[in-house]
Amino acid sequence: MSLRNPWLIAGGCLSAAASFAHLGCIVQGPVWYRFFGAPEPLIRGVEQGDPTLHWMTAGIAAVLAIWSAYAFAGAGIIRRLPLMRTALVVISAVYLARGLLIVPVTFQPDPRPFDLWSSLIVLGYGLVYAIGTARAWPSLSRKESFA
């Protein structure tokens, strides 16, 4: 199979990896939550048996998995999904907006390294999705199914 859109394939892999990392936090617990920068009050809740952070993390993992599927569909690896153009534009915009939080973070008196790194990483995700979406744009309007 030839790669139709390596940018969206990379975006799908990145979102899938992020989804698995979130699931890893649920399985591994407080140590992983701390490593990935979850707020300490929520981590203490997990340590006391409160499932709220687990549910929030599972929701994020599910969204990231769906975003991965949209990237793979946009690349033509899996079948076409509903609202392809809209979804890929929104996903790109969300990643880019989250990534651009690096601007106010850098002006904080004592920014957390996690905030800086996570913003840079997510900004990279957004750029990959945006480039991939732009390159796939003509094929995203077609009605035929892929794969």
What's the gap between Cα 10 and its chain centre?
Answer: 12
145 is a domain residue: no
Structural domain of 55: 6-140
Contact 76, 4 (CB under 8 A): yes
Residues 67-76: tens digit of each pLDDT:
999 999 999 9
State the Cα–Cα distance between residues 36 and 6, nearest whole angstrom.
27
146 is a domain residue: no
13 is a domain residue: yes
State the Cα–Cα distance between residues 51 and 71, nearest whole angstrom.
30
Q: What is the pTM of this model?
A: 0.88
> How many domains are there within the chain?
1
- Whether 1 shows a pLDDT value over 50: the answer reads no
33 is a domain residue: yes
69 is a domain residue: yes
* Mean of pLDDT values over 117-122: 93
| pLDDT for the residue numbered 3 | 58
23 is a domain residue: yes
